[in-house]
Amino acid sequence: MVTGGSRGIGRACALALARAGARVVITYAGNEAAAQETLSLLEKASGQARALKFDVSDTGACQAAVEQVVKELGRLDVLVNNAGVAVDGLVMRVKDADWDLQLDTNLKGPFALIRAACRPMMKQRSGAIVNITSVVGEMGNAGQAAYSASKAGMIGLTRSVARELASRNIRVNAVSPGFVDTDMTAKIGGEVRQRLLQGIPLERLGTAEEVASAVVFLASDLASYITGEVLKVNGGMYME
C-alpha cells in the first residue's frame, strides 16, 4: 500500500514494488487522471493493481482503507507512507490552516495508517513500514517551518514505532530524500537552482526512481535486520 501513489515519488515506489513482485494498492487524494495513468503502468508491470481515493488526514478513512485492503487481498505486508503536502512561507506569515494542513497530512495521516496497519501485521507476525520523510526534517529550511516540523515528527514516529513493533517482526524505517526532480522542484530555476546544486556534493537532483530503490530495499528481506533507521537519499546534501 503506497499513499500518494499517483505521481512523483509515490508512483515510482509503486512501480518498483510491482516490478519486485508485489500486489500494489495506491492511494490518492483527488487527481483522477494521474491515478488512472499509474494504474495502467502498474498493470503492465505486474498484471494487477488497485487504487483507493481518500484524504490521509481523515483518520477514519485511513482505518477503513487498511481494512479494505486486508479484506480484499488477505494481508498487508508493506505500507509506504508517502502522501504529503508543503505550503511554504516564513513563520511569521504561516496561517493556522496551513500549519494544520501540513501536520494533519504529513504526520497525523501516517500515524493513523500505521495504527491501522500494525494490527493485521501483528496477526501475521510480519510486515514492513517505510515512511517518506525529508532532508528538511533533519536540517531545517527557511520558509518551511511547518513542513520541516511534520517531517521531523515522522522521524520520531518511525523510531518509536520501530521499538514497539520489533518483537512482532514488523520493521519500521524511513527514507529521507533530498531535492528530487519532481513536480514540486520543477518550479525552481535560474540562480536559485544553481545555488541549490552547489550545496549537493553529487551536483544534481535525485530521481524518484532512486528514492524508490531505497524504499524497495527497506521493504524487502534484504533489510531484514534493519529497523528504526533513516536512510538518506540526498546526494550528500546532509550528512551526520
Q: Supply the residues annotated as catalytic.
A: 147
135, 179 Cβ separation under 8 angstroms: yes
Q: What is the DSSP string of the chain?
A: -BTTTTSHHHHHHHHHHHHTT--EEEEESS-HHHHHHHHHHHHHHHS-EEEEE--TT-HHHHHHHHHHHHHHHS---EEEE-------B-GGG--HHHHHHHHIIIIIHHHHHHHHHHHHHHHHT-EEEEEE--HHHHH--TTBHHHHHHHHHHHHHHHHHHHHHGGGTEEEEEEEE-SBSSHHHHT--HHHHHHHHHT-TT-S-B-HHHHHHHHHHHHSGGGTT--S-EEEESTTSS--
139, 154 Cβ separation under 8 angstroms: no
18, 7 Cβ separation under 8 angstroms: no
Q: CB count, 10 Å around CB of 201?
A: 11
